[in-house]
Structure 1
Amino acid sequence: MLIRRLCSVLRVRGKADLLLVLLFGAGFAALPVFALLPSVWGFAAAWAVSYVADEVLHSRAPGFIRRLSSLQFTRTMRFAIRTVSLLVLAGRTEVPWTVLITGLVAFCVHLAFTMLYSAVHRGIRARRNLPVIVRNLDMSAAGIPQQPPALLYRRFLRKLLHLDLPGHVGLLAVLITVELSARKPSADLWNAAYAGFALTAGLTTLALAALLWQLVRTRRMPSPDDVIATLNAQLADYRPQVALYFSFAAVSRDFMYQVNMWIETLEQMDLRPLIVLRERPSFRYLSRTWVPVVCTPKADDVAKLDLSEVRVVLYPGNAGKNVHMLRVAEAKHVFIGHGDSDKLASSNRVSKVYDEIWVAGRAGRDRYQRVRHAISDRAIVEVGRPQLAPIRLHADHVPGPQPTVLYAPTWEGWSDDDCHTSLIPMGVTMIEKLLQENVRIIYKPHPLTGKRSPEAAAADAAVRELLRADNERREGARTDSAVAAVQPRLREIEERLAELTGKLTGDDAQQTRDARVPDRDGGTEWQELTDEWHRLFWESHGPVRHHIIRKRLPSLYECFNQADILISDVSSVVADFVASLKPYVLTNAHDLPDEEFRAAYTTAGGAYLLDRDCTRLPEILRSVREPAHDPMAPHRRTLKEYVLGPDHPTSMERFNAAAIALAERSAAELAEDAAEGRHGLVIPAQRVDAPGLAGAADTAGR
């Protein structure tokens, strides 16, 4: 428990990283001690340990490094401490004053030029800071110059500070030689120290001069208005009709799933799609797509975009910056959300600001109707869930040698008032009892688990430790050689998938400079590689090994396809799993009466309910071990249509029809306003250009 607590406080992953932290601290604490004694050998050892531990922790424990920076013990400070300690050691060992002063001057030049380099680098970044970042549109006409060489530009501080190594090594080598010879050193011996000082100061000077030349080159950067003009020319050629708009202040991989889940749907629409993002880091976690993507961090720049032909704007989340797009009167605004669940977020009164709210099925409509005096029934459209096509039906599932339980708890929420996660009150108990039932467990927590609540983070860590320990005990789970055999191919696939996402190297300006219209055929290769990755992953790990899923792959829906039964909380995961018609369990952490719980949560209508102490678990698992004993099966079939809508027409067809109907309505209203002179517009009444679905709009459920 103490070690786990220390790891949590220091933000390291385990005992190995904790040992590195202790070595790191001991090395730095010993530096001034050995410098003052003086002890050349002790100092050399502490110096080496501090250097190596520092570098390894940067890659293994970035959280710990960030914690040090927040305490003002930055990388620059650490390098300065090593240098000062070395000079103190040299002074205590009677090094000639000329050597000591030369070293002091060289290291001062190094640190001063490092500070100046940082300032120049900041100036270059400021000049290369464009008002927009673009993907999948040809921005070559913008005239954006090439990014400075990566050697000078990326991770520059780490490289520059390490230029003190020649000076350090030269002086330490002389001190060690003197220690070994036990006699007064000759004047020639100090030449190695002088050479090290010269290399440190000279290389730093050359690096600064090279970067100053790059600063001069950035004067050729186009103006912000020129960049937006180039973008608008591309948008005018593309003529987007529907836009997906997303903003989230704390952008990370954990939030971008809200956009990524809609990409394939956008690509299948008959209207021309566009993705509009508001935070620069969004690009880092955006999945593969041929859809044009525009990121505009500033609200003023959003207003400058040529979105004159956009008739429908889709919002996967409620965020403050949505108002910057909602004010566009020429378009219709639709809340589509990022999942359909019984949480309060799926029937938020804020949704009243949108022209329409698209839900999966009748359950979503009824959910909003329960929010009295908030949402008009006419504003709700049932479109299904187009993303669920990859989910295999229960009838097509082939069971393994052991029942596979997918445990996918939701996160703790923004406050304790809406905390729906089962991890804190019953997660550990549930896993312990599942392990006693001899089942295979796939544990896939919500990406935000533990972000707000330390209790949730601790429960998550405990669950992962239980599963790891049980994997070690299981003889049938010893598939290390098989896993190792496929790792090279898995990495190769992941690298190719990263290439297919369209992610370009360089800073934002460089990525915009290199943006081009992509080849739409990449989707076929993407799907084939993704399928191969999943096949190799599951086959190599065997049919009984537990899994802890924290990364993008394997995907949630592939975990659905592996599972015989789902255990989850009130969340959109449950509503999506309903599409499979497999048994599923909802956690009743507050031990509400069954009737009360089912009345409160729609998806509980086809669920087995699990009490806080998990006493019902053996009986629930019987529905998997003995398929004939599955009393909730007929309820799941009824619930599927209620929650997700009918199978025909398909969800994609209904989604398309709803978009076309709304776009045509928007165009008609604009034409009417123009005729009456309300907006000073002249827009002829015409149908939206969406071949193949002109008549499908009538099928959109309202």
Structure 2
Amino acid sequence: MKKLPLTVGVLLLALLGMFVTAVVPSGWAYAMCAAVGYLAEPVVVKRVTSGMQPLPRVGLSVASGSVLRGSSALVLLARAGEGGSGAFVLVALGFLAMQALRVAYGGLLLYVWWCRRLPAVTRNVDLSVLRIPDAPPRRLMDLYRGPIAFIDLPLVAGAAVAVEAGARWAAGGAAAAVLAGVVAVVLLAVPAWRSRHLAAKGRVLDAVREQVRASEPEVVVYFSGDLHSAYQLNGWLPVLDRTKRRVVIVLREREMLPRLDPTTRPVVCLPLGKDLAAFELPSARVALFAANAANNTHLLRMPQFRSVYIGHGDSDKPTSFNPFTKVYDEVWVAGPAGRERYARSGVGVADTDVVEVGRPSLWPVAATTVAAPQPTVLYAPTWEGFHGDEGAATSLITMGPALVRTLLARQPSIRLLYRPHPLTGTLDRRAKAAHAEILALIEAANGGATEDDARLERMAARLDAVRHAGRGDEAQTARDAARPAADWEAVLAEWQDAYWADGTRHRVTAGSRPGLYDCFNHADVLIADVSGVVTDFLAADKPYAVANPAGLDADVFRERYPAAAAGHLIGPDLAGLDELLDRAGGAPDPLAHERGRLRARLLGPVEADPLAPFERALDALLRRAAG
């Protein structure tokens, strides 16, 4: 964006220069100004229209410099003494025809976009009945680099040459410009014709609904939220893939689909509330909600569903006892501590509506650490959040860089895994700055990038290609993603093996590559803020520390945040860090017994399969819903 004012200035000067040199007149100077304008305009228009809806974006492109350039060409010809010639009339008519063709192209582009913008975008749903054609080439749909972008170039070039060589060059240029516009319109008309049946949105929605109905889903997992919050649903996908019940995942934001991890379950995105209301699934009787969002009310008002809030982590933060939660029929928590949390908060959730289901996603967590040349510390701070609880605030701002600097100073005796929260820096620029400082510290400690890092990037690109099955626009991707990516797990496992092969390099981890629980398995100790990360880490039965960024009294802190009861505390001055690092080196941990007791309280009784309590609760609710 820093280059935008300069580029705008260059474009304005170039267009002004075209009119000045047209008045002079000077064909060569005019041509030079036109060349600068042609180079600057795509950059300006694309950046200015970034994030705009298609209609204003197309409108700005149609009404962009082409009109001014064409007008300046007419001025140039008139000043060159060709104003009364037949060639001038042909150029003027060509100019008008060229603008009409640009409008026609913009209209076709909007039509193609509208046809291919499905009312229900899917994954793992057979859309063959819709006969979705391949997406048009991206260059054809690009107003800034496509065939329509510079159709006025022959006209402008002909006018520049005409100053010295005669008006016939301008007439020829106008004819070439019109021909180029006709070809561009015809090229886009072909995909417009092939996609025309997708303009019947009602029929498209009916076809998608019938395909989903055919799978007879019993459970709807509903998710809506900010695009950065995709991790909240991604954490549940392995659980949903393992459950024996038939599940369909319903999203509300179409931009969320590319951020979703691969799953075997049908996924349907319904952006419009009216389409959601019309998307009836008679076999489904239970709706699970992984987050609180305003759009949740669109499904909550449907009486056929028993609604359940399953959340996206069990912690002592205020988000785990949000008053909004009382709108659901049931609230599922991990263990007795979750039940006590709601009772203590007084937010209106009845104890009879709280069900303990454990943490069904914890089966990948091992109680042993993957062998590494030196002890590994996992630092996983939370984000700045909305709740305003100073005790549960992120440690990133007050102590994050100092903590990381201290840990890195101990190399090679310590390896650091840094896992920031996905929303880090979205509310507070200080958190963003601290995060950037930590990244720089880790990069410097690693000594810069290596060939292995480049190889990992290439493997990651392959992973993304598998993850986002299909190419082209969202309609083609939905068509091609009718089945789960068969080789996702194998490619992911290959990437993870390569990622962890070097046990000495410090790592910055995020998202599903590698996952949080994979980081647990490679860490000897954890340093985290008050969050669900601490609760889940109890399943690993390893020493951990909770950051106390506000410097609260230790007894007050542990009473307010029960998950810290079996952990070490690290104050803003990093007091307590040395004691934790001694545990990482293998020193006896006096809190080991307390961790076992706390685990049962926070996560529920230990079962061979962590999914079992969740399955029992789901079975029981489905029986009640059927009755």
TM-score per shorter chain, which class? 0.7 to 0.9
Q: CA 1:563–1:71 in 2, change beyond 3 Å: closer, same or farther? A: farther
1:150 equivalent in alignment to 2:150:
no
- Counterpart Cα distance in 2 of 1:417 and 1:578: 23
Q: Quick one: which amino acid aligns to residue 640 of structure 1?
A: R
Residue type matched to 1:469 in 2?
A: A
The equivalent of 1:136 in structure 2 is 124
Unpaired runs of at least 5, structure 2: none
Offset at 1:611? Answer: 1.4
Within 2, Cα distance between the matches of 1:640 and 1:234? Answer: 43
Name which of 572, 593, 596 aligns with 1:634.
593
Q: Distance in 2 between matches of 1:467 and 1:42?
A: 53
Are residues 1:115 and 2:103 paired? yes
Question: Is this contact kept in 2: 1:247–1:319, CA < 8 A?
Answer: yes
Q: Report the alpha carbon displacement of residue 593 of structure 1 after superposing the two structures with TM.
A: 0.4
Q: Secondary structure at the match of 2:236?
A: helix
Q: Which amino acid aligns with 1:381?
A: V
Asked if 1:422 is matched to 2:395, the reply is: yes
Q: Which residue of 1 aligns with 2:500?
A: 538
Q: CA, structure 1 residues 162+220, in 2 after alignment: closer, same or farther (shift >3 Å)? A: closer
1:614 corresponds to 2:574: yes
Report the alpha carbon displacement of residue 595 of structure 1 after superposing the two structures with TM. 0.6
- In structure 2, relative to structure 1, the CA distance for the partners of 1:132 and 1:611 (3 Å cut) is same
3-state SS of paired residue (1:369): helix
Kindly indicate whether the alpha-carbon contact (under 8 Å) linking 2:70 and 2:155 is maintained by their aligned counterparts in 1: no
Greater Cα offset, 615-624 or 657-666: 615-624
Deviation track 1:492-543 (CA, whole Å, cap 9, x = no partner) reads 34423433xxx564344x5555664x36xx56x322221110111233xx43
Query: 1:159 corresponds to which residue?
Result: 146
CA contact (8 A) 1:334 1:355 kept: yes
Of 265, 268, 271, which aligns to 1:291? 265
1:446 has 2:421 as partner: yes
Are residues 360 and 51 of structure 1, via their aligned partners in 2, closer, same or farther at CA, if it must alter by over 3 Å? Answer: farther
Q: Which residue of 1 aligns with 2:233?
A: 259
**Equivalent residue for 2:562?**
602
The reply to whether residue 583 of structure 1 matches residue 543 of structure 2 is yes
Give the SS at the match of 1:462: helix
Cα drift, residue 315 of structure 1: 0.6
Instruction: Name the residue aligned to 1:387.
Output: 361
How much has 1:147 moved relative to structure 2? 5.8
Paired AA for residue 538 in structure 1: W
- Return the alpha-carbon distance in structure 1 between the equivalents of residues 300 and 11 of structure 2: 55
Alpha-carbon separation, structure 2, partners of 1:435 and 1:618: 13
> C-alpha separation between the residues in 1 aligned to 2:593 and 2:416?
26
Shift of 1:337: 0.6
Which of 381, 398, 405 matches 2:377? 405
Asked whether 1:278 is paired with 2:252, we answer: yes
Summarize deviations over 1:262-281 as a string: whole Å, max 9, x none. 12211211211111122222
Find out whether 1:506 has 2:473 as its counterpart: yes
Is the CA contact (8 Å cut-off) linking 1:603 and 1:639 kept in structure 2?
Answer: yes
Q: Is the aligned partner of 1:363 residue 2:350?
A: no
For the Cα contact (< 8 Å) 2:15–2:69, is it kept in 1? no
Task: Indicate how the Cα distance of structure 1 residues 354 and 55 shifts in structure 2: closer, same or farther if over 3 A, else same.
Answer: same
2:622 corresponds to 1:663: yes
TM-score normalised per structure 2: 0.84
The 1:457/1:55 distance shift into structure 2, 3 A limit, reads farther
- The 1-side partners of 2:111 and 2:280 are apart by 30
Q: Say whether 1:240 aligns with 2:229.
A: no
Q: What is the aligned counterpart of 1:353 among 318, 322, 327?
A: 327
CA contact (8 A) 1:57 1:65 kept: no
1:556 aligns with 2:516: yes
The farther-off stretch of 198-207 and 126-135 is 126-135
- Whether 2:342 is the aligned partner of 1:376: answer no
Alignment of 1:638-649 (within 5 A): 638-649=597-608
Distance 1:33 1:173, change over 3 A: closer
Q: The residue matched to 1:384 in structure 2 has which SS?
A: coil
Structure 1 residues 558-567 or 34-43, which shifts more? 34-43
**In the superposition, relative to structure 1, how do residues 222 and 198 fare at CA in structure 2: closer, same or farther (>3 Å)?**
closer
Matches within 5 A, 1:56-71: none
The reply to whether residue 482 of structure 1 matches residue 452 of structure 2 is yes
Aligned to 1:31: 14
Q: Deviations over 1:147-179 (max 9, x none)?
A: 66335763345414533474388469959xxxx
Distance apart, 1:425 and its partner CA: 2.5
Would you say 1:459 and 2:434 are equivalent positions?
yes
Deviation at 1:449, TM superposition (A): 1.7
Distance, in Å, in 2 between the alignment partners of 1:640 and 1:353 is: 29
* CA displacement at 1:77 relative to structure 2: 7.1
Shift in Å at residue 43 of structure 1? Answer: 8.2
Change over 3 Å in CA distance of 1:81–1:538 after alignment to 2? farther
Q: d(CA) in 1 for partners of 2:623 and 2:518?
A: 37
Mapped partners of 1:407, 1:538: distance in 2: 17
Q: Aligned equivalents of 1:416 and 1:100: distance in 2? A: 70
Going from structure 1 to structure 2, the CA distance change for 1:75 and 1:635 (only over 3 Å counts) comes to: farther
Q: Which of the pair is proportionally richer in helix?
A: 1
The answer to whether the 8 A contact 1:139-1:515 is kept is no
**Do the aligned residues in 1 keep the contact of 2:270 with 2:276 (CA within 8 Å)?**
yes
Q: What is the CA distance between 1:604 and its match in structure 2?
A: 0.9
User: Could you tell me whether the CA contact under 8 Å between 2:49 and 2:57 is conserved in 1?
Assistant: no
Could you say what secondary structure the match of 2:284 adopts?
coil
Instruction: Letter of the 2:142 partner, please give it.
Output: R
Structure-1 residue corresponding to 2:277? 303
2:109 partner letter:
H
SS of the aligned residue for 1:442 comes to strand
Shift of 1:346: 0.8
Counterpart residue type for residue 580 of structure 1: A
Unmatched 5+ stretches in structure 1: 1-9, 11-17, 176-183, 472-476, 669-702
Distance 1:585 1:309 in 2: 46
- Matched with 1:14 is none
Structure 1: how far apart are the matches of 2:299 and 2:422? 27
Contact 2:528 2:545 in 1 (8 A): yes
The answer to whether the 8 Å contact 1:21/1:53 transfers is no
1:268 and 2:238 matched: no
- Residue 485 to residue 309, structure 1, CA distance change in 2 (3 Å): closer
* Aligned-residue offset at 1:334: 0.9
Conserved in 1, the CA contact under 8 Å of 2:7 and 2:43?
no
Are the counterparts in 2 of residues 360 and 383 from structure 1 also a CA contact under 8 Å?
yes
Deviation at 1:257, TM superposition (A): 1.7
Q: In the alignment, is the contact (CA less than 8 A) between 1:357 and 1:381 conserved in 2?
A: yes
1:94-148 C-alpha deviation (Å, 9 max, x unpaired): 696678887776566545533332233323444555442333233333x455366
SS at match of 1:655: helix
Correspondence for 1:492 among 421, 444, 462: 462
CA distance in 2, matches of 1:360, 1:242: 20
SS in structure 2 at match of 1:437: coil
* Secondary structure of 1:388's aligned partner: coil
> 3-state DSSP class of the match of 1:244?
strand
In structure 2, the CA distance between the partners of 1:422 and 1:170, relative to structure 1 (3 Å rule), is same
Q: In the aligned structure 2, how far is the partner of 1:338 from the partner of 1:235?
A: 26
CA distance in 1, matches of 2:115, 2:49: 32
Q: Distance in 1 between matches of 2:389 and 2:77?
A: 62
CA distance in 2, matches of 1:285, 1:582: 32
Deviation, structure 1 residue 361 = 1.7
